């Protein structure tokens, strides 16, 4: 029942997901830049929170584009797994096909 209600708001959900993924990507870019210039970093908990909160696609692209956090198991395992889980949930909800 909840999944069918979500499908009724498909456009809004896609817009929110796009925004979350853009923020996740930008956080990854900022953290890589901060790491290289010894500035204040984004905590790993925040990066992972965005990946878990349906920002996994943006985080994964950012990780490999900027070569950031790709050697840390918590990232190179969690982020792709979350991407698959998110895809399954969105498919079952009728948001993506």
Does residue 38 belong to any structural domain of this protein? yes
In a domain, 57, yes or no: yes
Average pLDDT over residues 47-64: 98
Residue 72 has pLDDT above 70, yes or no: yes
How far from each other are the two terminal CA atoms of the chain, in whole angstroms? 18
Is the per-residue pLDDT at 86 higher than 80? yes
Host domain of residue 32: 2-92
Residue 97 lies in a domain: no
Number of domains in the chain: 1
CA–CA distance, 44 with 50 (Å, rounded to integer): 10
Contact 69, 28 (CB under 8 A): yes
Judge whether 71 lies within some domain: yes
pLDDT value of position 8: 87
CA distance 56 to 36: 23
Encode pLDDT of 2-33 as tens digits: 767 877 899 999 999 999 999 999 999 999 99
pLDDT of residue 1: 66
- Mean of the per-residue pLDDT values for the chain? 96
């Amino acid at each position: 029942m909840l999944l069918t209600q979500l499908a009724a708001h498909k456009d809004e959900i896609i817009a929110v997901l796009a925004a979350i993924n853009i923020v996740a990507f930008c956080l990854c870019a900022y953290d890589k830049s901060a790491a290289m210039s010894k500035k204040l970093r984004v905590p790993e908990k925040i990066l992972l929170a965005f990946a878990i909160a349906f920002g996994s696609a943006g985080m994964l692209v950012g990780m490999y584009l900027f070569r950031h956090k790709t050697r840390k198991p918590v990232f190179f395992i969690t982020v792709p797994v979350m991407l698959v889980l998110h895809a399954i949930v969105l498919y079952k909800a009728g948001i993506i096909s």
